[in-house]
Structure 1
Amino acid sequence: MDDQQALSSTTNDISTDPTLDPTTQRKHAAMIERLSNLHQSRVSNKSESKDPSFESTKSFLSLFTNSKQAIESSLAQIQQIPDTSPNLDLKPDLEKISISITDLEKLVAENSYFLPPYEVRSSLKTISDLKQTLDSVSSKLKPRKKFSFKNKPAKKPETANIVTEDAYKNEEHQSSYKVKDSPGFRSIENEVLIKEFKGAEIGEYVLSDLTNCEVRLTGCFRTLFINRLKNCKIYVGPVLGSILIEEVEGCLFVLASHQIRIHHAKGTDFYLRCRSRPIIEQSSGVRFAPYCLCYDGIENDLKESNLYDDTGSWANVDDFQWLRAVQSPNWSILPESQRIDTVRI
Structure 2
Amino acid sequence: MENHQALSTTTDVMSADSTLDSITQRKHAAMIKRLSSINQSRVSSKTGPKDPSFESTKSFLSLFTNSKQAIESSFTQIQHNLDANPNPTLDLKLQLEKISQLEKLVAENSYFLPPYEVQSSLKTIDNLKQAFDSVSSKVIPRKKFSFKNKTARKPESANIVAKETIENEQPCYKVKDSPGFRGKENERLTNEFKGSEMGEFVLSDLTGCEVRLKGCTQALFINRLQNCKIYAGPVLGSILIEQVEGCLFVVASHQIRIHDAKESDFYLRCRSRPIIEQSFGVRFAPYCLCYDGIESDLKESNLDLDDDDDDVRSWENVDDFQWLRAVQSPNWSILPESQRIDTVQI
TM-score band by shorter chain is 0.5 to 0.7
Shift of 1:119: 6.1
Aligned to 2:179: 183
Looking at structure 2, the residues matched to 257 and 265 of structure 1 have their Cα atoms a distance apart, in angstroms, of 18
TM-fit CA distance, 1:72: 7.7
Partner of residue 281, structure 1: 277
Q: Does 1:229 align with 2:225?
A: yes
Matched, 1:206 2:207: no
Q: What's the counterpart of residue 324 of structure 1?
A: 325
Q: C-alpha offsets along residues 117-139 of structure 1, whole Å, 9 cap, x if unaligned?
A: 4667999xxxxxxxxxxxxxxxx
Distance 1:52 1:344 in 2: 30
- 2:162 maps to none
Aligned positions of 1:245-324 closer than 5 A: 245-309=241-305, 311-324=312-325
**Secondary structure of 2:50's match?**
helix
Which whole-Å CA distance do the structure 2 matches of 1:52 and 1:189 have between them? 40
Residues of 2 paired with 1:314 and 1:180: CA distance? 29
CA distance in 1, matches of 2:274, 2:182: 25
Kindly indicate whether structure 1 or structure 2 has the higher relative contact order, using CA contacts under 8 Å at least 6 residues apart: 2
Matches within 5 A, 1:1-345: 57=36, 70-71=49-50, 112=111, 115-117=113-115, 178-309=174-305, 311-345=312-346
Deviates more, 1:250-259 or 1:197-206: 197-206
Q: Which residue of 2 aligns with 1:89?
A: none
| Separation in 2, partners of 1:213, 1:55 | 37
CA RMSD of aligned residues (A): 3.7
Measure how far apart 1:179 and its partner are.
Answer: 1.0
SS at match of 2:305: coil
Partner Cα distance (2:304, 2:34) in 1: 26
Structure 2 counterpart of 1:249, one-letter code: E
Displacement of 1:301 in angstroms is: 0.4
Looking at structure 1, the residues matched to 177 and 119 of structure 2 have their Cα atoms a distance apart, in angstroms, of 27
Shift of 1:63: 8.1
Question: Counterparts of 1:292 and 1:59 in 2: how far apart (Å)?
Answer: 25
Do the aligned partners of 2:31 and 2:272 also contact (CA within 8 Å) in 1? no
| SS of corresponding position for 1:287 | strand
The answer on whether the counterparts of 2:275 and 2:319 sit within 8 Å (CA) in structure 1 is yes
Change (3 A) 1:121 1:181: farther
Q: Could you list the per-position Cα deviations for residues 212-234 of structure 1 after superposition, in whole angstroms to 9, with x for gaps in the alignment?
A: 00000000010000000000000
Q: Distance in 1 between matches of 2:298 and 2:183?
A: 30
Q: Could you tell me how far apart the structure 2 residues matched to 1:121 and 1:241 are? A: 25
Cα distance change on mapping 1:71 and 1:193 into 2, 3 Å? same
The SS at the match of 2:49 is helix
Task: Kindly provide the amino acid, as one letter, of the partner of residue 238 in structure 1.
Answer: P
CA-to-aligned-CA distance 1:248-290 (integer Å, 9 cap, x gap):
0000000000000000000000000000000000000000000
Gap regions ≥5 residues in structure 1:
1-50, 74-104, 124-175
Number of aligned residues: 208
1:160 maps to none
Q: Tell me which structure has the larger Cα radius of gyration.
A: 1
Secondary structure of the corresponding residue to residue 300 of structure 1: helix
Paired residue for 2:13?
none
Normalising by structure 1, report the TM-score: 0.53
Unpaired segments ≥5 residues, structure 2? 1-29, 53-104, 122-170, 307-311
Runs of 4+ with >2 A deviation: 51-65, 67-70, 117-123
Contact 2:32 2:114 (C-alpha < 8 Å) held by counterparts:
no
Distance 1:122 1:223 in 2: 29
TM-score (norm 2): 0.53
CA distance in structure 2 between the partners assigned to 1:228 and 1:199 by the alignment:
29
Secondary structure at the counterpart of residue 302 of structure 2 = coil
User: Distance between the aligned counterparts of 2:269 and 2:218, measured in 1?
Assistant: 15
* Inter-partner Cα distance in structure 2 for 1:57 and 1:202: 24
Contact residue 228 and residue 246 of structure 2 kept, 8 A:
yes
**Following TM superposition, by how much is the alpha carbon of 1:199 offset from its aligned partner in structure 2, in angstroms?**
2.6
Compared with structure 1, are the counterparts of its residues 56 and 202 closer, same or farther at alpha carbon in structure 2 (3 Å cutoff)?
Answer: closer
Q: Distance between the aligned counterparts of 1:53 and 1:340, measured in 2? A: 31
Mapped partners of 1:52, 1:314: distance in 2: 13
Distance 1:57 1:241 in 2: 14
Q: Which amino acid aligns with 1:182?
A: S
CA distance, structure 1, for counterparts of residue 31 and residue 264 of structure 2:
37
Query: Any conservation in 1 of the 2:267–2:284 contact (CA below 8 Å)?
Result: yes
